[in-house]
Amino acid sequence: MASAIDGSGVQSSDRWFAVPRPIRNLFDLFPLQVLASEELPARAPAAARRRAALYVFADDEEAALGKPSYNPSCLKWQTVLKMAGIDFEVVPSNNHASPSGALPFLLPPSSPSPRSSAPLTGEKIHKYAREHAVRELPVVTSPRIEAYHALLTQRIRPAWLYALYLLPANAPLLGSLYLPSSIFLRTPIHHTLHAAATA
């Protein structure tokens, strides 16, 4: 398909993509400047991780001491890694920092392979714990263990979700544990948590 040429010698198809003169004049008044790069934030990770990092819901001070997370899902994987004898650090985080949108996630120690330093979530954390365990993880299958697992997943967890996310009396606790201080973010995140707990 041939493009028509107007009286100025410019192809008409090029005119569709040309920046209009008033906008071009405006940008000429404010030329592009490249600023020097800034220092990384103090909490930015080091170039190389010597040990695994488990990102969980936790208080900054308690995470520095390696104390347990207050979130049941995070606590579960923290316990698995401890039982396996894996050396890891606890890093306080939130769902927005997670590659999957949910905590916890594990960053293995740094290595030259980009595949081995990819974030691990869910059962991949369990697989990592089995493969790198200092102490072998026990494989216990019994009707009693299955009964406890069913009790935890079908009765205790829903009760915990209701008590923390839906009970108005626990709204201050929910706010201090999971919600940001920004009023603009607090309300939408609270609605998201409420919807997730009722789903």
pTM of the predicted structure, to 2 decimals: 0.69
Residues (pLDDT < 70) of the chain are 1-15, 31, 39-47, 112-117
pLDDT at position 41 is 61
> What domains can be seen in the chain, in order of their start residue?
52-131 (3.40.30), 143-198 (no CATH)
pLDDT at position 128 is 92
**Which pair of structure tokens corresponds to residue 70?**
């207050």
In three state form, how does the secondary structure of the chain look?
Answer: CCCCECCCCCEHHHHCCCCCHHHHHHHHHCCCCCCCCCCCCCCCCCCCCCCEEEEECCCHHHHHCCCCCCCHHHHHHHHHHHHCCCCEEEEECCHHHCCCCCCCEEECCCCCCCCCCCCEECHHHHHHHHHCCCCCCCCCCCHHHHHHHHHHHHHHHHHHHHHHHHCHHHHHHHHHHHCCCCHHHHHHHHHHHHHHHHC
**Which pair of structure tokens corresponds to residue 189?**
């995140």
pLDDT at position 39 is 66
pLDDT per position as a tens digit, 149-187 = 888 888 988 888 889 889 999 989 988 888 888 888 888
pLDDT at position 1 is 47
pLDDT at position 113 is 61
